[in-house]
Structures are given as structure tokens and as C-alpha cells.
Structure 1
Amino acid sequence: MEVMSFLADGILLALEPINLALIIAGVTVGLFIGAMPGLGSVNGVAILLPITFLVPPNSAIIFLAAIYYGAMYGGAISSVTLGIPGASTAVATTFDGRPLALQGRASLALVTAALASFVGGTVATVLFTLFAPVLASTALSFGPPEIFALMLLAFATFVGLGGDDIPKTVFSICLGLVLAAVGFDTISGEPRMVLFEIDGFMRGIGFIVLAIGVYGIGEMLWTIEQTRGEVTTTNPKMTAKGMMSDAKEAAQRGWKGTAIGSLIGFFVGILPAAGATPGSLMSYGVAKMLSKTPEEYGKGSPDGVAAPESANNSASTGSMLPMLTLGIPGSPTTAILLGGMVIWGLTPGPRLFIDQSEFVWGLIGSFYISNIAALVINLAFIPLFVWMLRMPFTILAPLIFVLSIVGGFAASRSIHDLWLIVIFGLSAFFLRKFDYPLAPAVLAIVLGPIAEPTLRQSLLLSSGDPMIFLTRPIAGPITVIAIILILLPAVKLLRRKKTFAKN
């Protein structure tokens, strides 16, 4: 009952006129920041952080958290309408969101994303409210072996993403891992795989560069090649009655992905330094594995949109938990929020709930209000986003190209990265022509920088003994499950060959 009393006070604080205005403004700004390729919640929160010094700390953190929420919703917009992930958290949304848009069902994809995001954020906020101290202590017990086991599980869920052609899927994952290794060695600090000693490779290859190249330039070239230059448009229909019908279909066909994403996203999000991207990718893989119709994934399945969208919103709330209770950021965006709290004179940690209870519960109360505001504002803007798709592709293609170039440059301000975007776009186009799956490569470049250092740190802890991944109480079961999932496609293939031989 004490928790409910604190929560009621927090919601009332969030509903004060200045805080409510900041929530609406933050969610709206975040929605468009998330939709812009190359920006995302990290840049949005960082750019707008100085503005918060004009308001009290309570209002400042509520505003920045609202931007974070809005950006998580907004990432789906460019993924669906343009085929370019607004941020790494929305890359899995592209797998089914873009095919739905090309079928003239962008409204269904966007409505599904909005509803799944709302459910994921709400589930995570309720779990946050009820179990914050317990979950924080559990997350703290995750060391390098546990984090690596989790990353291995994420890779395992994606082994079957490329269909039945396992060698091509493995090749795609290996290609992504190679690209993720470019730059400085995380342990020794030595440069590695720096092609022709070009300085630009010293910084490594950023995810946003690969994502814009593969899903922006590559998708544009593929569509042009498929249509042979004909004037094409998806001609989507948008009515209030249609939105209601889409909402009903989203609830019927996306509930399982939403449930999976809400739970996986939150528990991955609370892990220090994990963030929403691994959670959304893992949720997509698990939803596909548990689906009765996995063949629909990648071709326009509402469940394939619901799983990553519910996961990234759930994870964004979960990542706040270690920041507030332990002083450890759960994602790059919460790292910036943590810096803001320190500047405002607040000390994150276990004492924060006691010494600054009004601040903490005001923030938790704002999660509920921000979630509702984000849903309403997102649904209100869907007709505008769908209208964009009525443009002929002869107009849309140059627009996608310009946005890809501008978004890529805005992220790093490097001409080197612009060349990489073009090269990755061309490479993705040719890989797709030869039926190589691109999603596993994208997964690898996202999770590679997390998996590699945790693997090496774990082996340093165990003096090179790989059994550390099987003997630890948390890492062991996760590793066993991952190994089973990795071997499962091979077992299915052998059974199929055996059946074929008998016939």
C-alpha cells in the first residue's frame, strides 16, 4: 500500500501543468528525433540537455525521459515508411514493417508499433514500480560471463533468421563480426583491421553507418531494380475506420510478439550497459522461433513488428532502473541522464529512493503519463506518415538517398562514413541478389562490440577456461539454452535429409 501511495503522489506531480506541458513537448520532439535517420534518443537527449537547466530538476528529468520515450516510439516511423532504421533500437522493426508498407499496409505496421510500444512501456513501468530494488540487485550479479551468455543466446535466436540456408546465415553473422572488430582492440588498445591505414577506420564502423547503408541505400537500389524504373507507389488508404480495423488486427495477430517483447525487453534493459537494441533483436528472434507461422516473418508479419517495438520501449524503461538504484547507466541514453542528475546535484544509488523520494516517484509517475501521451500523439500523426508513402517512388527514392546521406553525416560529421554508407549500400544490394540474409550481419555488428570484450574478460577471469560459461549459476543455463538453439537447425536439417532418403 505504501508503494501505491508513493506512486499516486508521483502521478499527481507529473500532472502539474509545467510537468505535463514538458511531457507533451518532450514526447512530440522525441517522436520526430527518433524518426530522423542518424539521430535517435542519445543525440536528442544530449542536444536538449542544456535546456533543462531552466527548470527544476524534477521537471528536467521528466522532460528528458519523455524525449527518450518519444524517440523509442519514433524509431519505427522511418523503419516502416522509408526502410531506414531511425536508430539501432528500431532495426528489427524494419524486417517486417517495411514489407507491410510495400504491400500498402503501412497503417497496420505503424498502429501495431504504437500499440505494442504502449503495452511494452506499461508492462515495464509496472514491473519497475513493484520490483525495483530486487531487480536492481539481480542485475548487479550479471558479470562478463553472464553478459556474454546472453549475447550468445541473442545470436542463437538469429541462426534461423536466414531461412534454411544455414551456411549463408553463418557467413552473414561472421561478416558482421569482422566489421564490428575494425578499430582499436578493446583490451590491448592496439589498432586492428585498419584498411590501408586510413584514419577513418580507427574509430571503427558505427552501427548507424551500416544500418543506413544496408536499409537506406541498399533497399532503395533493390526496389529500383525490382520495378525497373517504373513509377510506383504503395497507395495506402487511411481512414479512421481503417485505423480501428488495423488496431483490431494488430491486437489479434501481434499479441504474442508484444508479450514476448515486453518481458524480454525489460529484463535485458535492466542489465548494465545492455540497452534496448539487444532486447529488441532477441525478442524478434524468440517470437519467430515460437511462432506457428515463422515463414511469415520477414514478409510482413504484424507479430514481427510488435515484438521489437514492445521490447525497445520496455527496455528503455528497464534501463532506468540500474541508473536510479545503482548509479549504473543501462544504456547510452541513460548515461547522459545520469550525467544530468549529477549536474543537478542528485546522487543516484540506493539512497536516492529514501533521500529524494519525491524526485524518484515523480519520475516513475511521469513514465505512466508519458506512455499515454506518446500513444495518443503517435496515433494522431500516423495519417501524416502514411501520406508520405503516396509519393511515387521516383520522388521517394531521391528523398531516401538525401536523408541517408544527411543522417549519416549528422551522426559522425565524417566524409569517410558517407563513403562507407554508399559501399555498404552497394554490397547489401549484391548480397541480396545472391540470397544472403542481411539481418544476421546487422545483429552481429550491434552485439559484437558487447560480446567480444565480455568473452575476453570472462576468459581472463578463468585463466582461459571456457567452462566458466557453464559452471556459473546464471551463465550456465543461458549458455546451454543458446547451444541447443544453435544446434537445432542442424538437427532439423539432418531429420529432413533422413526422411528424404527414406522416400
Structure 2
Amino acid sequence: MTELSALFHGFSVILTPMNLLLMFVGITLGVLIGVLPGLGGANGVAILLPLTFSMSPTSAIIMLSCIYWGALFGGAITSVLFNIPGEPWSVATTFDGYPMAQKGQAGQALTAAFTSSFIGAFVAVVMITFLAPMVAKFALKFGPPEFFAVYLLTFCSFVGMGKGSPFKILGSMAIGFALAAVGMDTVTGQLRLTFGLEELMRGFDFLIAVIGLFGIGEILLSMEEGLAFSGKSAKISPKVVFETWKQLPQYWMTSIRSSLVGIWMGITPGGATPASFMSYGLAKKMSKDGAKFGTGQLEGVVAPETAAHAAGTSALLPMLALGIPGSPTAAVLLGGLLIWGLQPGPLLFVEQKDFVWGLIASMYLGNLAGLIVVLTTVPLFASILRIPFSIIAPVIIVICAIGAFTVHNAMFDIWLMLGFGIMGYVFKKLDYPLAPLVLALVLGDKAEDAFRQSMLLSQGEMSIMVANPLVGSITGLALLLLFWPLIARLIAKVRPPKPTGFAAEQPVD
């Protein structure tokens, strides 16, 4: 009941005309960002973050989080109508969404996608409402060793649970750690890796790095591929919406399973993209129509969209309660909190109750507002893709440059943004993940501080990392996740192969 009373207080905080206006502005901008290939949730939030510096933290986070929800919704529009995933997590939606559009069922596919997205997000927000305060109270017992163990767990889970090559993930993360070390050492006050450049004394600002890596990098890649838009038109009538809603209850098991997959992948740093693919694969395996997936099945749209929104929303739980982001966009929002003078973590629930519960309340209203906006404006946003990409790309680059310049009002930051953009382009060409780099850049200095404080407390003894059951269990779990790819290979080698062929079919007497 304490959580419910706090939640109602959160609604009283955000239910002001200005906050409601910012909510709808954020949703609309987010859908636009999701529709345009080359932009993404993380980059859209990063570009528009400087615009919120004059707002109160509560109003700013409401607008930025609604941009995130809108981007999650918007990615489905291009996936269904144009077979172009506006966001990485929308790739799985194209498998059945675009075939449905080709069969003249674009309205049903989009209605199912938007409704499933809302359901996935709603389940995740309910989970955050009741779990976040408990996690925060538990985390109040943490000291420097425990915090370092949690950071270690986050980094190791990226390596062990990531879908790509562990060596590429480690390489990307190592570069992020190196970039995080540039500037002034917070423990000794000495300058590190500045090479005599005064501009590097403050280090690499995560916001400039994110704008370059995600925005400029994607635009360069899209320009190289000569991206052109062509697709189906769509109108969503009330009749289509209600007819589709009548069909959706038969997929209730898929929705529950996809929500759970998404929540798990959001809390652990798996993210919305692997959650959508995993959920699609499970639905295909468990559905009675699994063999028809890929030909235009409504269930093939429901599964990935539910999981993606559940993952994108639940990624904010570790960010709020522990100060550890569960996705690149959550990492950008974490940086925004630090800029506004707020320290994410367990004390945030004690010191900034209005902010925390206002944010959680905005998740409920923001997703409802997002559902209303996308159901009523699909033709408008789809028509944007008829603008030539040669016009859209320069506009995005200019927006990125303005966003980078406003961080410190320095031309040097624009050059840094372009440098990070080239790095992002190279990473994508070589198939190196960007999320571990961003995570290490945001959390690298905090992990270093926690480790050095732990070493000062123990006078250099590493045994402090297993000094009590709490820190020992977290460290042990981190090491297990780090070496999980090797453990999985060993298990596969030791386990006897399943009998196949004629011998397996012989009856036993």
C-alpha cells in the first residue's frame, strides 16, 4: 500500500498542464525519431537532452522518457509499412508485419503492434512500481565493495549474455574504459591522457560521444547504403482497431511470456533487441501456427513488440534503484540525472521522492498517450518517409551538431562528435557493439572510484570482494556470467549427443 500511495502522489506531481503538454510533445518527437532510420531512442534523447537544461528535473525526465516511449512505438511503423526497421528492436517485427501489409492487413498489424507494445510496457511499469522501492531499500546496505561488485556484474553480464563475439564486446568495453579515464583523476586530482589539450581536462562528455556514435555513425552507414524508402500506405480506422482488439485475447499466453522475457532482458543488460528476437523465437516454437510464421501471422507481431517495450521500460529499474542502466537509452538518461544534480541509486528514493514517483507515474500516462498518438497519426508519420533521404540526412546531422555544441558551447565538441561518428561507423562496419562502449564510458569512472575506495578500506587486500555473503555472491555471479560462454561450451562437449536416425526410432522390447 505504501507504493500505491506514493504512486498516487506521483500522479499529483505530473498532472499539471505543462507536464502533460511535454508528455505529448515528447511522444510525438519520439515517434518521429523511431520512424526515421538513422536516429534511435538513445540518440534522440541525447540530441534533445540539452533542451531540457532550463526545465525542472521532473519535467525534463518526463519529456525525455516520453521520447523514449515514442521511439519504441515509432519503430513498428516503418517495419510494417516499409520493411525498414526504424529501430534495431523492430527487426523481428518485419518478419510478419511487412507480409501482413503486403496482404492489405497493415492496419491490423499496426494496431496489434501498438497495443502489444502498450501491454508489455504496462506490465513492466507495474513491476517497477512494486520492485524498485524494495531494490532501493536493499541497496542502502551497499558500501564501495558492493557497488563495485554490482558494476562488475553489469560489465560481465554484457560479455557473458551478449549475442555477439565476447572478444568484440570486451574490445568495445575496453575502449569505453580508456575514454572514461581521460581527464582529471577524481581520487588524486591529477590529469590523465589529456596530451596537453586543455579541452580534454573535463574528459569526454558522454552526451557528445552518444550523439556521434549513434547519430552520425548511423547516418554515414545509411548514406553509404544509399537508403531509399518505398512501402505500403496505411490508415487505421476505428473498425479495424476494434476487430483487431477482439483477436488479441487469444494470444494472452504469448503476451505474458513475451512480457516476462522482456522484463528479464531489460533488468539484465540484454536490451530490447535480443528480447524481441528471443520472444519471436519462443512464440514460433510454441505456437500451433509456428510453421506459418514469416508469412503474415498476427502472433508474430504481438511477440516481439510486447517484449521490446517490456525490456525498454524495465531497463529503468536498475538505473533508478542502483544507478546502473540496463540499456543505452537508460545510460543517456542516467547521464541526464547527473547533469541535473541527481544521484541515481537507493538514496534517490529517499531524497527525491517527488522526482522518482513522478517519473514512474509518467510511465503509465506516457505509454497511454503514446498509444493514442500512434493510433491516430500513422498516415502522417508514414508520409514523412516519402521525403528523400538526401534531405533528411543533412537535417539530422545539423540537429546532432547543435545538440553537441550546446553541451559546453565549444566548437571542439563538434569535432569530437564527428570523431565519435567515424568511430561509430567503423564499429558498425566491423560488427562491434556500441552499447558496451557507452556503458563503460558512463560507468567506468564510477567503477574505478568504487574499486579504489574498496582497496583503501582493505589496504590493498582483494579479499574484501568476498568479505561478506552479499558482496561475495554478487562477485561470484559476475564471474559466472563472464565465463558462461566457456562453461556452456564445456557442458555441450561433456553432454552425450542425442540419438538420431534409424537407431533412435527402434522400439524397445
Task: Please confirm whether the aligned pair reaches a TM-score higher than 0.5, indicating the same fold.
Answer: yes
How far apart, in 2, do the equivalents of 1:176 and 1:303 lie?
31
Shift of 1:251: 7.7
RMSD of aligned Cα (Å)? 5.0
Paired residue secondary structure (2:460) = coil
Gap change, CA 1:79 and 1:398, over 3 Å in 2: farther
1:370 aligns to 2:369 (yes or no): no
Q: What TM-score, normalized by structure 2, do the two folds share?
A: 0.66
Q: Counterparts of 2:274 and 2:472 in 1: how far apart (Å)? A: 19
Please state whether the residue corresponding to 1:47 is helix, strand or coil: coil
Q: Quote the sequence identity (%).
A: 27
Could you tell me how far 1:477 is from its partner in structure 2?
Answer: 1.4
Q: In the alignment, what sits opposite 1:180?
A: 180
CA offsets per residue over residues 240-282 of structure 1, 9 Å max, x none? 27878699599876755643555786xxxxxxxxxxxxx5735
C-alpha distance in 2, partners of 1:123/1:192? Answer: 42
1:47-446 correspondence runs (5 A)? 47-49=54-56, 66-67=62-63, 69-74=65-70, 76=72, 94-97=87-90, 114-127=118-131, 132=133, 135-160=135-160, 163=163, 165-194=165-194, 196-225=195-224, 227=225, 229=226, 232-233=228-229, 235=231, 237-240=233-236, 256=257, 258-259=259-260, 262=263, 281=269, 287=275, 293=281, 302=305, 305-314=308-317, 370-371=365-366, 373-380=368-375, 383=378, 384-446=380-442
CA–CA distance in structure 2, aligned partners of residues 237 and 468 of structure 1: 61
Tell me the distance in 1 between the aligned counterparts of 2:385 and 2:150.
38
Structure 2: segments with no counterpart, 5+ residues: 34-42, 79-85, 99-108, 285-300, 324-332, 343-347, 496-509
Gaps of 5+ in 1: 51-60, 83-92, 266-278, 321-329, 340-347, 354-358
Q: Deviations over 1:100-144 (max 9, x none)?
A: 68998696887665554343233323446xxx4x55432211222
Alpha-carbon separation, structure 1, partners of 2:88 and 2:484: 23
Larger radius of gyration: 2
Q: Distance in 2 between matches of 1:448 and 1:79?
A: 31
TM-score normalised to the size of structure 1?
A: 0.66
CA contact 1:23–1:66 (8 Å) conserved in 2:
yes
Is this contact kept in 2: 1:64–1:337, CA < 8 A? no
Question: Aligned partners of 1:25 and 1:491: how far apart in 2?
Answer: 51
Q: Which residue of 2 aligns with 1:90?
A: none
C-alpha contact 2:160 2:483 (8 A) present in aligned 1: no
**Total equivalences in the alignment:** 430
1:176 and 1:442 in contact (8 A); partners too:
yes
Shift of 1:178: 0.9
Give the C-alpha shift of residue 487 in structure 1.
0.6
Cα deviation for residue 147 of structure 1 reads 1.9
Distance 1:191 1:373, change over 3 A: same
Structure 2 CA distance for partners of 1:498 and 1:372, relative to 1, 3 Å? closer
The answer to whether the aligner puts 1:480 opposite 2:483 as a matched pair is: no
- 3-state SS of paired residue (1:219): helix
Cα distance in 2 between the residues matched to 1:47 and 1:102: 43
Offset of residue 367 of structure 1: 5.0
Relative to structure 1, the CA distance from residue 118 to residue 402 in structure 2 (aligned partners, 3 Å threshold; closer, same or farther) is farther
Offset at 1:232? 0.8
* Cα deviation code 1:389-432 (max 9, x no counterpart): 34332233223322222222233332212112212222232333
What is the SS of the residue equivalent to 2:188?
A: coil
Query: Is the alpha carbon distance of 1:363 and 1:206 closer, same or farther for their aligned partners in structure 2, counting shifts above 3 Å?
Result: closer
Shift of 1:478: 1.7
Structure-2 change in CA distance of 1:215 and 1:471 (3 Å): same
